[in-house]
Amino acid sequence: MKDRPKTKQDWLKYAGNMSQVAGLTEMEYTSGKARGMRVWQVKTAGGLVLDLLPDKCMNIGALSYKGNNISWLAKNGQTSGKYGYPVLNEFDRYFDGGMLWTCGLKNTGPDYVDENGVFQHLHGRLGITPCEQAWHKEFWNGDDYMVEIGGVTRDSHLAFHNLTLTRTISINLLCNYIEITDVIENCEPEAADYLSLYHFNFGYPFIGPETKMVFPDALSPILPRTRAAEEGMDGWNQLEPPIDNYEEQCFFHHLKPDEAGWAHVRLENAGLGTAAELSYETELLPILTEWKSVRSGEYVLGIEPGNSYLRGFADEKKDGNVGVIEGFSTKTVRLKLHFSDI
């Protein structure tokens, strides 16, 4: 649209009800493992469509831009948190991917038993926990038409910890920016340890052999997680066509932030004419995990800001990678997603 409206008044002359061009629609899945799960679908005037999941920590499910899929859906399909049993080796049965799966707050690595004898399963419980409060509103802010989505999710254990994550997602419905602000609060008088990982998942057709990864300068060398990743170091920023029986590779990056403290990772697909940029504040998310899987049927690129090397709580705490929130205090995490034409 070349001569699109520029002011609130101009927009309202063309569209007396803005929901015909942009807005949020409440829906519910009615079949399969997603049955009964709420989905809040947002569409923007710029061609962005995304699903927000208030029954799963306000994760972001499917996301597309101008008709092209951007996000990744695991072979499990959309799965309600009701099927997310936090027991040994069960994560791979219910993990459905999506644009953003939130990991934490007591684990972002493999299954383990903590010092209190409590089982902590892979990537924590937050991603399958429903918001105990959830809301949304649409409003004009000058000539910008906005939607703000919020939710409060609790990660607690009797006699041990009581943490809440209050998520606010702001989207300019006339553009293609998504801003995520998470406030993690310790609701106990004692200090609490926490781990966090923002599991952003990019899928086909946006992700493919022609996709270009643009990373900023690094503060230190890239670290491979496994022997397979070590052997694939030369191709960490390349995506081959699907390979049968490929073993996933993870690489840890420490990216140089800009003067404002933000790191920016840009992905470009010239064939689709689309770019996606993930930005995040590095102070509380110093370690970026790159998850590269070109395995047939599991073709995905994860760009995952976090505060650990995914080794389990004990090792991370030993090396000082675990976040700490003092009693009755908060930590604020900020991230952004931006989609554009190239």
| Among 285, 264, 289, residue whose Cα is nearest residue 340 | 264
Residue 177 exposed, middle or buried by CB count within 10 Å (0-12, 13-18, 19+): middle
What are the structure tokens assigned to 255, written together? 């990216």
* Cβ–Cβ < 8 Å for 162, 148: no
In whole angstroms, give the CA distance from residue 159 to residue 164: 16
Return averaged pLDDT per consecutive 10 residues of the chain, 342 residues in all. 87 96 98 97 97 98 98 97 91 96 95 87 95 98 98 96 98 96 98 97 98 97 98 98 98 98 98 98 98 98 97 88 97 98 96
DSSP annotation of 253: E
Give me the residues paired with residue 144 across strands. Answer: 141
Q: How far apart, in Å, are the Cα atoms of 322 and each of 86, 104, 154, 173, 298?
A: 22, 11, 19, 36, 30
In whole angstroms, give the CA distance from residue 305 to residue 309: 11
* Cβ–Cβ < 8 Å for 148, 168: yes
What are the structure tokens assigned to 174, written together? 């006339």
In whole angstroms, give the CA distance from residue 88 to residue 90: 6
Is residue 174 helix, strand or coil? coil
In whole angstroms, give the CA distance from residue 49 to residue 33: 22
CA dihedral 94, 100, 102, 107 (to 10 degrees): 70
Please name the CATH architecture into which domain 8-341 falls: Distorted Sandwich (2.70)
Residue 162 exposed, middle or buried by CB count within 10 Å (0-12, 13-18, 19+): middle
Separation of CA 293 from chain center: 17
pTM exceeding 0.75: yes
Where in the chain are the domains? Answer: 8-341
In whole angstroms, give the CA distance from residue 74 to residue 326: 37
Separation of CA 277 from chain center: 13
